Amino acid sequence: MHDIAAATLPSGTLLPSLGLGTWKMGENARTASQEVESLKRGFDLGMTLIDTAEMYGEGGAETITGKAIEGRRDEVFLVSKVYPFNASRKGVIDACERSLQRLKTDRLDLYLLHWRGEHDLEETVAGFEELRRAGKIREWGVSNFDVEDMEDLMEVEDGENCAANQVLYNLSRRGIEHDLMPWCQERGIPVMAYSPIEQGRILRNTELIRIAKAYQATPAQLALAFVMRARNTIAIPKSGDPHRVEENSGAARLEISREDWAALDAVFPPPFRKQPLEML
């Protein structure tokens, strides 16, 4: 896995703690070929986890992903997500089938409920379990679930089979460190962090720039290293630029001192109390 540390699903399956996001991909025909190249470059660098969703570009991102994984499906850990309004028992199965067609593959490694919607969790989980038995997905999980949602899920039949929770997490949004992250860590459920560099907004922070320079790193690399420093936490930055993907991969090699993490805590303070789960 190059020098990218591994995260572990409850089943024991290993996956890289630095992967590739695809949000906003597949929306522009002019940039499509570069997006495909960016993803392929990521695979070459060991970022073999790829995260997409039927929502992204209304299937466009899955189509781009399908092109990138062509001929390389077995080296990639493939994640997609189902819209909440498609998450009835039958709806999940139909949505998964459509995603598999766009991705040009026969299986997903991980299938997530994008956020909690109007369908009962029992129905969604029953659909996920049916897909698992059919070999269409290897594992399933959730996204944008707070502790209360996770506890509700655990009470549903087969709810304890949840393999991951994908949430918004970065230096400027650390609320989950108070309760959700420890809750997941206790149960061996990895946290997948989307928008790990806050879509670039935090990269102008002077302290982040100062510390990154000390390690001959970029602010983005340091921000990604922060996300990955938590146990069993996976960062999935999106980039449609192969050079940026190469830069991102360098985050896996950073070893930051305790003093410098403390300096970042001073600028981006950890939470002192429960905060509502943030979403983008």
Q: Would you say residue 19 lies in a domain?
A: yes
CATH code of the domain containing 79: 3.20.20.100
**What pLDDT is attached to residue 255?**
95
Q: Would you say residue 1 lies in a domain?
A: no
Q: Would you say residue 274 lies in a domain?
A: no
**What pLDDT is attached to residue 183?**
98
Burial (0-12, 13-18, 19+ Cβ within 10 Å), 80: buried
Cβ–Cβ < 8 Å for 79, 51: yes
Give the count of domains, the chain: 1
Cβ–Cβ < 8 Å for 35, 26: yes
Question: What is the distance between the alpha carbons of residues 26 and 35, in angstroms, rounded to a whole number?
Answer: 8
Question: What is the distance between the alpha carbons of residues 13 and 54, in angstroms, rounded to a whole number?
Answer: 24
- Segment-wise mean pLDDT, segments of 10 residues, the chain, 280 residues: 86 96 94 96 97 95 97 97 98 98 98 97 98 98 98 98 98 97 98 95 96 97 96 94 95 96 97 93
**What pLDDT is attached to residue 60?**
94
Q: Per-residue DSSP letters for 70-126?
A: TTTGGG-EEEEEE-GGG-SHHHHHHHHHHHHHHHT-S-EEEEEE-S--SS-HHHHHH
First vs last C-alpha separation in the chain: 30
Structural domain of 61: 6-267
**What pLDDT is attached to residue 2?**
66
Q: Would you say residue 275 lies in a domain?
A: no
Q: Would you say residue 222 lies in a domain?
A: yes
Nearest Cα residue to 103 out of 128, 78, 85, 86:
78
Q: What is the pLDDT of residues 193-248, one digit of tens each?
A: 999 999 889 999 999 999 999 999 999 999 999 999 999 999 999 988 999 999 99
Q: Would you say residue 101 lies in a domain?
A: yes
Q: Would you say residue 280 lies in a domain?
A: no
Specify the pairing of strand 77-82 against strand 49-51: parallel
Catalytic residue among 56, 111, 169, 194: 56
**What pLDDT is attached to residue 3?**
81
**What pLDDT is attached to residue 15?**
95
Burial (0-12, 13-18, 19+ Cβ within 10 Å), 11: exposed
Nearest Cα residue to 229 out of 260, 200, 206:
260
Whether 56 sits among the annotated catalytic residues: the reply is yes
Question: What is the distance between the alpha carbons of residues 114 and 6, in angstroms, rounded to a whole number?
Answer: 24
